[in-house]
Structures are given as structure tokens and as C-alpha cells.
């Protein structure tokens, strides 16, 4: 069962704090790439005192940690970044919040058992079979941009569209999407944000309501099974707790109702922002739709929606010349790995024709690699295809000061104002 405090306080004794460590701002995205570029060159593993984590910046080291299950545990991956006050812990405990460590924050053998069950439903064949439905959703949201002088791409498309795709897997009506998104937003901040005690309690209230929504959904599928994810997990369980427990199935639903769409919301927004910020690359996609799939991979590399992930050292381990003590908390910088000059030529340049773009680490690596990556790729591809076809002259509205999510691991703008028909077209419409 989840414990509502950090599994272990980070071991920081003897950690040296450098100028880079002091300059790094764990929850802020502004200037992130500049400080990470310097770290890769000067101090590829540094200690961040504001969170008590060792930050790993080079791609080879990041992938090595992901692979090393003997010396690194995933158990802290979903821990709240700040210790929870006793009143928050008591509230969740008394409210029967019984979420367990089963996926992103679980080690073998639990992770292996649960993922094997989930993969019988969440797989490439099923995701590719959703293309017609997802394309219809993308066209539906693109309709909202038609005729608009300017539009907020987040509010009008990328915020809600990915959860609608996930609801198709769960057999949940579309009208529940806004509420689930609000709950998911709070859970994201609860886990990865830098919240005050009052904000933690506010988020905990929504997260508990979110958990009980998932419990009720699973209970309903026990009585009324369908063709959805929860029903499939119940069938695989076959009443045997050694395969899956009912609580674990609730946790699987709870997990996909966050991870299955928040990352895609941010990834799709980041992708369009990156392309429109590089008009020549946008023009290449518009002119040659065959470039779309690789443009998606380059967007994921250049502007990942998941910029870091977490591990804890089980024993003393040396990485990049730095000894991380047993119990030391490790922040794997995916954003830095994706721009490592040792692996990507002209790494700070967006190039949709990049031959090795797919070697990014944005979906993780190893046994914990994102199980929903094929669905995310499908959605990103369709969003880009549709927007490039329907709005080839799309441009960013000028003078925007983007507000980025203030979280440790997730990156995306809260809004992105675009001129769907270009600023010249917008002027014509206004006239």
C-alpha cells in the first residue's frame, strides 16, 4: 500500500554543492537547457540542494541507470516531492486511499507481473486499431480552430483531446473528461509540484475523489463487464489475487487516467510550439506529409513533455566520477539526455529530418519504458497531420510570454495562442 511520506529521506551527507547545483532550479523550466548544457560539459552529475537529488545529465549515464535494476530502485518515482503533513496523510488513510506501487514506481517481481497483465490489453495492435476513432477526435477539435483569428491551442485542442482517447479504452463517457482532467491536474501537482501544506491538502481532496471514481468504475465492471481496460484486467485476474488484486486493477485505471493523457497534452503542445517557433521546419512538414512521423520523434527529443524521472540508489554507486551513496535520490534528466551532443549532432537545433531522432529518452527506457508510447505517437502523428493539412499557414501569435507548468518532471505551456490561418489571414478575417 502507498505510504504518504517519502519512502526514505534522501541521503545527502557529504554531497558537494557546486555553482551549477546552486544555479539549477528543479521546478522551473526557464533556462533549463542552458544550465543542463553546461552541466554535461563541466559536471555531468551534480547535486541539487533545493530537492536533495543527484542530477544525471549525460544520455549514456541516464540509460545506464534505467537499465540497472540491481543498484537502483524505481520506488520513489511517484513520491510527493515535499513531505506530506500528518493531516494530509491521515486524510488519505481515513479516506481509504489504498493505491499501491504497481507500475512506474514498482520493482520486480511486482512490476513484471502487473505489466504482463496490462500489456495483454495495452499493446500495439489495440492502439493502431484506434486510429480511425482518434483521427475523428482530432478532426473534431480542429473544427474549433476553423475561422478563428486566434485560438488557444491548449484550451481548444490539446488539453482535452488526449483524455478523450483514453476514455475510449476505458468505456467512460466523454462528458466525464473535464472532471477527470481537473483531478489529474491536481494529482500531477501533488506528486511532482512544489506545494505548500495547504495546497497539498487541497490536491489530496481531489485525488481521493479521483481514486474513489476509479474504485466505483472497477466495481461496476465486476457486475457489468464490457470491452474496456478494467473489464479485460478483471477477466485476466479470473478471481485470482496472485494474478491481480481488485485494488491493483483500480490502481491500473487510476494510473492510465493520468499518465495516459497528461504527457500527450504537453507533448502535442510542445511539438506544435517547437515547429511554429521554427517556421522553416513547419513548412517542411506542410510540404511533405511523409516527414510527419519523424517530426514527431524530433519534437519528442527537442521538447519532451517529461523532462526528468527518479530513482533511488540501493547501494553506493559511482556515476560520472561522482559517488552516489546508498539511499541517495537520483534525478535522471531526460531533457538533457535528449540534447546530449555525444549522441545528437547540433543537439539544440530542431531538425525534423534527423536520422536518429527516435533515440530520444522521452518515454523512459528498459523495463519501465512507457507502455502507452504507441498511443501517444499515434495521437501526435494525427494531430500534426491534421493541423498541417487544414492550417498550413498557422503561426504563433506574437508577444507571448509562455507560462510553463511548475513541476519537477513535466513540461508544457499552460496556453499557446496561435493564428490558425496565419497573421496575414487573421488580419484579412478581422477586416
**How is residue 85 written as a grid cell?**
503533513
Determine the pLDDT at residue 430: 36
Q: Is 317 helix (H, G, I), strand (E, B) or coil?
A: strand
Determine the pLDDT at residue 424: 57
* pLDDT-derived band at 258, boundaries 50, 70, 90: confident
Whether the pLDDT of residue 217 is over 80: the answer is: yes
Q: By C-alpha distance, which of 310, 301, 430 is closest to 359?
A: 301
| Mean pLDDT computed over 318-347 | 97
Determine the pLDDT at residue 260: 76
Spatial distance between the Cα atoms of 126 and 121, rounded to a whole number of angstroms:
7
Determine the pLDDT at residue 128: 94
Q: Is 414 helix (H, G, I), strand (E, B) or coil?
A: coil
pLDDT averaged over every residue in the chain:
93
Domains (range + CATH), the chain: 19-430 (1.10.630.10)
266-312: pLDDT as tens digits:
999 999 999 999 999 999 999 999 999 999 999 999 999 999 999 99
392-427: pLDDT as tens digits:
999 999 988 999 988 999 999 999 999 999 975 444
| Mean pLDDT computed over 321-331 | 96
**How is residue 95 written as a grid cell?**
479516506
Whole-number CA gyration radius for the chain: 22
Determine the pLDDT at residue 238: 97
Spatial distance between the Cα atoms of 372 and 175, rounded to a whole number of angstroms:
23
Cβ–Cβ < 8 Å for 353, 382: no
- Alpha-carbon distance values, 282 to 275, 388, 391 (Å): 5, 8, 11
Determine the pLDDT at residue 431: 31
Whether the pLDDT of residue 10 is over 90: the answer is: no
Cβ–Cβ < 8 Å for 191, 81: yes
Determine the pLDDT at residue 1: 42
Amino acid at each position: 500500500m502507498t505510504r504518504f511520506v517519502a519512502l526514505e529521506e534522501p541521503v545527502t551527507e557529504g554531497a558537494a554543492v557546486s555553482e551549477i547545483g546552486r544555479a539549477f532550479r528543479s521546478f522551473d523550466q526557464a533556462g533549463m537547457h542552458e544550465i543542463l548544457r553546461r552541466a554535461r560539459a563541466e559536471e555531468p552529475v551534480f547535486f541539487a540542494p533545493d530537492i536533495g537529488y543527484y542530477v544525471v545529465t549525460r544520455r549514456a549515464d541516464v540509460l545506464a541507470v534505467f537499465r540497472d535494476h540491481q543498484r537502483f530502485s524505481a520506488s520513489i518515482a511517484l513520491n510527493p516531492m515535499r513531505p506530506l503533513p500528518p493531516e494530509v496523510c491521515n486524510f488519505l488513510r481515513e479516506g481509504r486511499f489504498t493505491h499501491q506501487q504497481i507500475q512506474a514506481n514498482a520493482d520486480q517481481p511486482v512490476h513484471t507481473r502487473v505489466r504482463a497483465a496490462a500489456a495483454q490489453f495495452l499493446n500495439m495492435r489495440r492502439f493502431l486499431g484506434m486510429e480511425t476513432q482518434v483521427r475523428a477526435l482530432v478532426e473534431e477539435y480542429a473544427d474549433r480552430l476553423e475561422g478563428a483569428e486566434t485560438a488557444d491551442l491548449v484550451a481548444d485542442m490539446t488539453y482535452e483531446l488526449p483524455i478523450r482517447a483514453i476514455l475510449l479504452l476505458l468505456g467512460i463517457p466523454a462528458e466525464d473528461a473535464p472532471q477527470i482532467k481537473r483531478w489529474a491536474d491536481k494529482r500531477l501537482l501533488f506528486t511532482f509540484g512544489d506545494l505548500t501544506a495547504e495546497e497539498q491538502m487541497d490536491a489530496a481532496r481531489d485525488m481521493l475523489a479521483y481514486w474513489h471514481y476509479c474504485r466505483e468504475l472497477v466495481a461496476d465492471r465486476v457486475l457489468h463487464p464490457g470491452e474496456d481496460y478494467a473489464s479485460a484486467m478483471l477477466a485476466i485476474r479470473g478471481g485470482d489475487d496472485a494474478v491481480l488484486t481488485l485494488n491493483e486493477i483500480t490502481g491500473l485505471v487510476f494510473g492510465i487516467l493520468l499518465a495516459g493523457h497528461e504527457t500527450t497534452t504537453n507533448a502535442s503542445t510542445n511539438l506544435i510550439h517547437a515547429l511554429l517557433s521554427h517556421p522553416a521546419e513547419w513548412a517542411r512538414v506542410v510540404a511533405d506529409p511523409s516527414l510527419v512521423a519523424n517530426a514527431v520523434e524530433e519534437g519528442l527529443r527537442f521538447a519532451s513533455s517529461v523532462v526528468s524521472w527518479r530513482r533511488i540508489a540501493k547501494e553506493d554507486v559511482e556515476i560520472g566520477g561522482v559517488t552516489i551513496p546508498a539511499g541517495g535520490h537520483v534525478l535522471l534528466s531526460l531533457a538533457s539526455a535528449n540534447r546530449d551532443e555525444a549522441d545528437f549532432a547540433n543537439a539544440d537545433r530542431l531538425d525534423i529530418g534527423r536520422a536518429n531522432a527516435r533515440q530520444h529518452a522521452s518515454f523512459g527506457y528498459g523495463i519501465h519504458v512507457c507502455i502507452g508510447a504507441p498511443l501517444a505517437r499515434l495521437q501526435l502523428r494525427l494531430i500534426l497531420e491534421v493541423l498541417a493539412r487544414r492550417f498550413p499557414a498557422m503561426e504563433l501569435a506574437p508577444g507571448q510570454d509562455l507560462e510553463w507548468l511548475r513541476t519537477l518532471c513535466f513540461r508544457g505551456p499552460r496556453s499557446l495562442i496561435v493564428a490558425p490561418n496565419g497573421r496575414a489571414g487573421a488580419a484579412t478575417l478581422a477586416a
